[in-house]
């Protein structure tokens, strides 16, 4: 199937919300990791989301120029061709973009989609994330108010992060402390500034103790039940049941019980990066250790071309990452839910 149209993406999110499941949003940095994500979705018979961060786009843009927009556009164009060979719908999303990178990433990509839509085409990406978590909530929402109508006009969904997620993501760092919990007042201020869909659809990355990166059990206290408080607090004021479409950030290492609670409370998208990075790299490390004298020209020998051919270790890396994506689909209850 082709990349999801705006209409299909909206239907995907609506079905997830109604069915209390979520789509894995898999960060990619290359054609190989893209194929791993697509393969995992296809094998799980799940639609899904592929996303690229500012750092991922810079990497994919090449180390000569490190141009984020080039990398993101290249991914979108490549995905539009290869995704058609997979029997699932996949939406394209740009991940974490802080204030200092908006002019070099999201705004140019929005402009490109505006031009495409004006020509009667679909947008380049189906959603973009504005990460204002390092700003005051007032400044965060002010910028969101500028971006939301532009996104809506280009048939794009905006994702906003209104309070910090702990840890580090592409250079944006937050301490692990009590600020990692969104309050009902934060959610009310968001609804007041951005509406509840009438100004344009948005996804809300609320914080309930989430931390990016790797952490051991017990180091972080997740409270996914907090999302219910946010839904009810805002829903009561506006007379709308479950008004928010939530995003689960910093989900690597979360328990199945924590994930299930988040799904019950309106999470429709869960970002997965750290776990898939490890799943991709682990078999590569094994290949290098197990074929040491083949991948290296040891003691003046010539090595083994079949061992150091990037396809040899690339194939096992793709298979391993695809398996982790399938597992994510199982945990998020999206397995077998693809649109027909």
Q: What is the pLDDT of residues 68-98, one digit of tens each?
A: 999 999 999 999 999 999 999 999 999 999 9
- The 10 Å Cβ neighbour count of residue 308 is 16
pLDDT band at 177 (very low <50, low <70, confident <90, very high): very low
| Each residue's pLDDT tens digit, 21-60 | 999 999 999 999 999 999 999 999 999 999 999 999 999 9
**Residue of higher predicted confidence among 171 and 245:** 245
> In sequence order, which residues have a C-beta less than 8 Å from that of residue 120 and are 6 or more positions away?
none
pLDDT at 167 exceeding the cut of 50: no
The least confident of 183-192, 250-259, 271-280, 331-340 is 250-259
pLDDT tens sequence across 108-124: 999 999 999 999 999 99
Mean pLDDT of the 209-227 span: 73
The pLDDT score that the predictor gives to residue 316 is 98
pLDDT digits (tens, 9 = 90+) for 242-296: 999 999 997 777 889 999 999 999 999 999 999 999 999 999 999 999 999 999 9
131 among known catalytic residues:
no
- Chain centroid to CA 22: 12
Report d(CA 19, CA 32) in Å as an integer.
Answer: 31
Q: Is the pLDDT of residue 182 over 80?
A: yes
CB 94 within 8 A of CB 154: no
Angle, in degrees to the nearest 10, between helices 106-118 and 68-82: 50
Q: What's this model's pTM, rounded to 2 decimal places?
A: 0.94
Beta pairing class for 267-272 and 23-27: parallel
Residue 127 backbone dihedrals phi, psi, to 5 degrees: -155, 155
User: Please, what is the average pLDDT of the chain?
Assistant: 93
H-state helical runs in 61-183: 68-82, 106-118, 137-153
Percent of the chain scored above 90 by pLDDT? 86
Given the residues 14, 47, 67, 95, the one annotated as active site: 95
């Amino acid at each position: 199937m082709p990349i999801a149209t705006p209409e299909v993406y909206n239907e995907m999110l609506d079905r997830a919300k109604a069915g209390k499941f979520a789509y894995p949003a898999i960060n990619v940095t290359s054609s190989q990791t893209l194929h791993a994500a697509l393969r995992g979705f296809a094998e799980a018979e799940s639609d899904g989301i592929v996303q690229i961060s500012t750092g991922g786009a810079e990497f994919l843009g090449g180390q000569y120029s490190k141009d984020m927009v080039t990398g993101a556009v290249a991914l979108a164009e490549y995905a539009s061709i290869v995704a058609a060979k997979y029997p699932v719908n996949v939406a394209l999303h740009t991940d974490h973009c802080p204030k200092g990178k908006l002019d070099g990433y999201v705004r140019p990509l929005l402009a490109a989609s505006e031009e495409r839509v004006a020509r009667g085409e679909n947008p380049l990406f189906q959603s973009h994330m504005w990460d204002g978590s390092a700003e005051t909530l007032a400044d965060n929402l002010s910028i969101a108010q500028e971006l939301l109508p532009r996104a809506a006009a280009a048939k794009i969904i905006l994702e906003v992060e209104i309070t910090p997620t702990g840890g580090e993501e592409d250079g944006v760092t937050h301490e692990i402390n009590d600020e990692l919990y969104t309050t009902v007042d934060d959610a009310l201020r968001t609804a007041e500034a951005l509406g509840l869909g009438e100004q344009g659809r948005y996804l809300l990355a609320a914080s309930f103790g989430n931390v990016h990166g790797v952490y051991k059990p017990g180091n972080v206290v997740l409270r996914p039940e907090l999302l219910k408080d946010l839904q009810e607090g805002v829903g009561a004021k506006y007379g709308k049941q479950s008004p928010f479409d939530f995003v689960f950030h910093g989900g690597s290492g979360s328990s199945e019980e924590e994930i299930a609670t988040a799904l019950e409370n309106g999470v429709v998208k869960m970002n997965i990066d750290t776990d898939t990075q490890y799943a991709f790299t682990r078999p590569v490390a094994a290949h290098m250790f197990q074929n040491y004298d083949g991948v290296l020209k040891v003691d003046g020998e010539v090595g083994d071309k079949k061992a150091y051919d990037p396809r040899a270790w690339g194939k096992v890396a793709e298979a391993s990452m695809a398996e982790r994506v399938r597992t994510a689909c199982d945990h998020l209850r999206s397995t077998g839910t693809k649109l027909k």
